[in-house]
Amino acid sequence: MLKRKFVIADNERALLFKERLLTEVLTPGIYRYWDFKNQLKARVFDVTSSEVVQKDVKALMLNKPELLGEHFTEVSTDENEVALISVNGQITELLAPQTQKLYWNTEAKMTVERINISESFQVSEKDLKRLAKVAKSSVLSKGLVVKEVINKQVGLLYVDGRLERVLKAGQYGFWNYNQTIALVVVDTRAQLLDVSGQEILTKDKVSLRVNLTATFQVEDAVVMSEHLSDGKAFVYNALQLALRQSVGTQTLDALLADKTSIDTYVQSVVSKKVAEFGLKLIQVGVKDIILPGE
Q: What is the pLDDT of residue 192?
A: 96
- Which amino acid does the sequence have at 276? E
- Residue 189, classed as helix, strand or coil, is coil
Give the count of alpha carbons within 13 A of 68, CB side only.
22
pLDDT at position 138:
61
95's CB contacts (< 8 A; 6+ apart) are: 75, 77, 82, 83, 84, 85, 101
Could you give the CA distance from residue 239 to residue 217 in angstroms, rounded to a whole number? 14
Query: What is d(CA 216, CA 222) in angstroms, rounded to the nearest whole number?
Result: 16
Question: What confidence score (pLDDT) does residue 259 get?
Answer: 80
User: CA 170, 174, 176: angle at the middle one, nearest 5?
Assistant: 150
Pair 132, 171: CB distance under 8 Å: yes
What is the Cα–Cα distance from 67 to 47, expressed in whole angstroms? 18
pLDDT, mean of each 10-residue run, the chain (294 residues): 87 93 93 90 92 90 88 93 89 90 90 89 85 68 85 94 94 90 94 88 87 95 94 95 90 85 93 96 91 68
Its pTM stands at: 0.75
What 8-state DSSP symbol labels residue 216?
A: E
Q: pLDDT tens-digit profile of 148-163?
A: 999 999 999 999 999 9
Average pLDDT over the chain, rounded to an integer: 90
Please, which residues have CB within 8 angstroms of residue 108's CB and are 6 or more apart in sequence?
Answer: 50, 87, 88
What does the pLDDT read at residue 141?
67
pLDDT for res 143: 83
C-beta separation of 235 from 216 below 8 A = yes
